[in-house]
Amino acid sequence: MASTPPSPLLSQGPTPPKSSPPTPILANPVAKTYAFIHPVLLLALLVLRFNALVADPIPELLGDLPFLALLQIAFVTICLPPAGSSTKPTTTTTPTPEDENNTTSSTGTGIILKPGKPGLRRKNTPKSDSTAACISAKLIPSILSLTLTTLLATPLLTALLILFGAPATTHHPQTILCAAHMAVLTAMPLVYVHGVDGTVWKEVWGAARPGDAVWGGALGTAVGAWFGAVPIPLDWDRPWQAFPITILVGGYIGYAVGLGLGRTVLFGSRLKLEEGGGDGEGVLAEGKKVD
């Protein structure tokens, strides 16, 4: 007897979860312009306060943290969509003469009766009210993102810094403040854009996110801080080698580079680990772009 072919539904297996797409910079001139200005402002803050950072790290790190938070709030509110919003462009339709003839408006009240829907009225919203609502809809998520970053990301990065070699019994203020700066740079934009989406955060911890400005800045900060730790154990006897100065400098530079690359040449690309030759080592390779 001839065997029946297996059903396509049975042979496909479970469908993998759909990945979240990369997040573009908002498509307006102000957002695109400030996306270039923002990393310049961060690096300028670092350069202007570098001597004070070397002379007395703890008060300088503490004093610079509010300025960093304000710059990051400005960046996310101007350039990025908050979690749950749609980045698709809105289309406007031009009313036809028939629609205009069917539209009746009451004089002096600003109430419009929509054609084809009896009884449904729409009030004209003042432009100032809509602008205030738009600002409020973006400012509140940015403040909540900063709060979650302070309460959750800072302690987590503090523990990671200690695991990766930061002093465990000394330099506690330096470690916490370094973690706070890195958390505001990396975690705050991620929380603002993706919220608490578990699928996205699994991709973040697995370094599997498609490239964009937010993920590029976070990954660049981590890589820059890693390379920034190299000069600390070297016997150069320089005051700027003290922990955590070079780590922060590397983190800031890495953030600026990663943000620029993520929103341009690496947008939509993935980094994935591929098997090496015969020694079992992994090779970091660029995956194909995500549509």
pLDDT at 242: 93
121 vs 115: CA distance, rounded Å: 10
Six token digits for residue 263: 């929103």
pLDDT at 135: 67
| pTM, rounded to two decimals | 0.76
CB 174 within 8 A of CB 127: no
216 vs 260: CA distance, rounded Å: 8
β-pair partners for 272: 285
277 vs 283: CA distance, rounded Å: 9
Q: How many domains does the chain have?
A: 1
DSSP 119: T
Q: Which domain holds residue 76?
A: 29-84+134-270
- Could you tell me if residue 176 is inside a domain? yes
DSSP 168: S
- Could you tell me if residue 280 is inside a domain? no
Residue ranges of the chain whose pLDDT lies below 70 = 1-19, 86-133, 135, 272-291
pLDDT at 110: 42
SS3 56: coil
pLDDT at 115: 47
- In sequence order, what are the residues at sequence separation of 6 or more whose Cβ sits closer than 8 angstroms to the Cβ of residue 50? 240, 249
- Could you tell me if residue 120 is inside a domain? no
The helix (run of H) or strand (run of E) holding residue 182 is helix 172-194
